[in-house]
Structure 1
């Protein structure tokens, strides 16, 4: 796992994620996709700047994905200004990213959104987020899609 600065990172559940390298050094020739994990760090003013690797991946057509608060990082580098996208809630990008211009393209929905190589999801949409990443890198199959859809059923409206 690549992490900002190449430092080990504790999760919100206090699990230590061991770094195998620096996220800033991520290269599209070495990875199938660049996935930014959600964390409250993206809401802070001193959030890591991963704009360079993100732009490298987008430039060559490699998928870039952000879930939960990581959508804020994608918004800060204007990736969401001209792509359909989602996030934790409609006001988060507007409130956290002063230059955000993509409000008309925001989809307030419980499933991940993929548009031109950029995948976004709320923190509650990990299953559809994983499905979109797998499909974007060519790992999707009808059986896998059905399986992941089954696990995403919690997002469907209850009958009755």
Structure 2
């Protein structure tokens, strides 16, 4: 399986949303590569400057184990990020997982990718405002993994306040942690459970 994980980056990217997932995937041996609309630098909401490793036109599902789409203000202010949602469609069609959080879920909704898949987001009416047809598949949960069908890739979704739950689904899907160790990781970073540290590092 490809060991490269692609993280989409764009102006207004929400800094806090992908960090747990990318850090622990890297620790598990995955290479994290950033992909922008071009290779021009972008600036996150927090003002961090990121120079993308590659441009979106160079991104191929067959070179990737996962595409992560963070939230960002631009998802809700126009169509600038629509090409990233289109890339997500190509990944899912090729059987490669996609993980989207916060505003990126609205981008996927506009692309029609949530019409037939279990998913979540900030709140149901946030996605309803996109005019999508998948309201009956909305799940009121911190994070949701839809296993896909007919060879389509898995889709992970979460709302903006759940970066740890989002990472739990990503890390589990990618095999970074499994079973009791995945549960311990979540309890440590979500619940600040000191006992989980010993379990995670046993």
Q: TM-score, normalised by structure 1?
A: 0.85
Contact between 1:67 and 1:120, CA under 8 Å: does it hold in 2? yes
Query: 136, 139, 142: which is aligned to 2:173?
Result: 136
Alignment of 1:1-160 (within 5 A): 1-48=34-81, 49-95=83-129, 97-98=130-131, 100-109=132-141, 111-116=142-147, 117-142=154-179, 143-153=181-191
Shift of 1:67: 0.5
Report the CA distance between 1:82 and its aligned residue: 0.8
- Structure 2: distance between partners of 1:45 and 1:24: 20
Alpha-carbon distance between aligned partners in 1 of 2:135 and 2:111, rounded to the nearest angstrom: 15
CA RMSD of aligned residues (A): 1.7
Alpha-carbon displacement from aligned partner over 1:60-103 (angstroms, at most 9, x marks no partner): 211111111110111111111111111111111111x12x0111
Task: Give the Cα–Cα distance (whole angstroms) in 2 for the partners of residues 93 and 66 of structure 1.
Answer: 13
1:29-74 C-alpha deviation (Å, 9 max, x unpaired): 2111011111011012232222442122111211111111110111
The total of aligned residue pairs comes to: 151
Within 1, Cα distance between the matches of 2:189 and 2:174?
20
| CA distance in 2 between partners of 1:56 and 1:46 (Å) | 18
Q: Secondary structure at the match of 1:34?
A: strand
Contact 2:38 2:52 in 1 (8 A): no
The structure-2 alpha-carbon separation of the partners of 1:24 and 1:73, relative to structure 1 and needing over 3 Å to count, comes to farther
Q: Which runs of 5+ in 2 are unaligned?
A: 1-33, 148-153, 193-202
Kept after mapping to 1: 8 A contact 2:42/2:51: yes
Give secondary structure in 2 for the equivalent of 1:119: strand
Structure 1, unaligned stretches of length 5 or more? 155-160
Q: Shift of residue 16 of structure 1? A: 1.0
